[in-house]
Chain A
Amino acid sequence: MKNTRRRNRWIMGTFVGTAAIAVAIDHTRHRLPEPLPPQHSESAPNPSAVVIVDGDTDTPCSLETSPCSLEESPCSLDETTGAVDESPCSL
């Protein structure tokens, strides 16, 4: 009897937790804004290339204000540019 009661309590706890989790997650489902296309982009010729935004002063993938911003040419992600040292997802 005691074991049955304990098992029932455990099952109830699981049920409540699962339902609460599902509801909570559903409440955070909100359609995200579609990203606007880059103003200037270059499509690289192979799957390893990255679409590049050629901004005036910054690159899409390096933060100038970050400690690890890359000081090299801002559009060097594309192998066709000849520069391959840039990291597209650096800080």
Chain B
Amino acid sequence: MSTLEIDAQTQTGPPRGAAQAAPRVHHRFGDPAFRVVTLVSGLTVAIAMFTLAGVLIYNSWTAISELGLSFLTTVAWSPSSGSYGALAALAGTALTTLVAMVIAVPLALVIALLLTELVPPGMARVLGTAVEMLAAIPSIIFGMWGLFVLVPFMQETVAPAVTESWLGQLPLLRPGETFQGGGFSILTAGLVLAVMILPFITAFSRDVLLMVPRVTKEAGYGMGSTTWEVLRKISLRYALSGVVGATFIGLGRALGETMAVAYLVGGDFLTVPKSLFDPGTTVASLIALQFNEATTKLDVSALIYMGLILFAVTMVFQVLAQIWLRRARRTTGGRA
């Protein structure tokens, strides 16, 4: 059996003749085995997903049947009197995530572009490693950092400066009735979340930006484009789906982050925050803070109901992202 023959085989697809039996031993065994393994792995993920959804629905059924959909629009959390509502936590989750995304996404993109396009490779490696190391820091450390550094800074410097100036009259910045000085607040939690998701979005975006073909970019420069034009019209457009994917990984992490937020957001379960400087709570942190001491069936069930909502919200975002990506792909000519 010569090398050439095998070469020919692999290039012309699956072999047909009995004369070529020897190398096909591996084909016959390797391909189906690999297919089975990939199928099993893929199914495991799908099964885990659906089982999780099933378990969440099953265990939250007590709360769903007792509290119904008004759970979503009620502000309450009192295990002793059996009243529960998710609105405050949902609002807090939305606000902290919004703060985190607004800060982290543009910053991450700029850093990724900087790393791939604008700095010499040596420096990019050093900066890239620094960003990746940021991703390896456990969330509890971010929580501690927030607690010991950011909270006093926000309380004593940022919050007074903003709320006492004209900025403090703007919606979302004007202190609400539950304002406690701004140290433990939606904004503090959002800022820490931003730092936490930044490395993920940066690292993923950098990797997709690195895959933009050099030739395409050089063609752009060849036609007289400025760096900015190449970045915007070639690199970013080419890497769009990857960047969106990176953003959604960050979003998922921000929505679900528990420990750091639990330390910083102020643990106010009973108010829909009117201002970024107000304390609040998030779905994930409320679950974490309440689960240990949840004793009654309804109590546990209400917490799992919360988990189900978080699960559903994440799913909706994923689906929306897919739809948006498909549309974007059509408008950019299929190469996004």
Bound pair: A and B? no
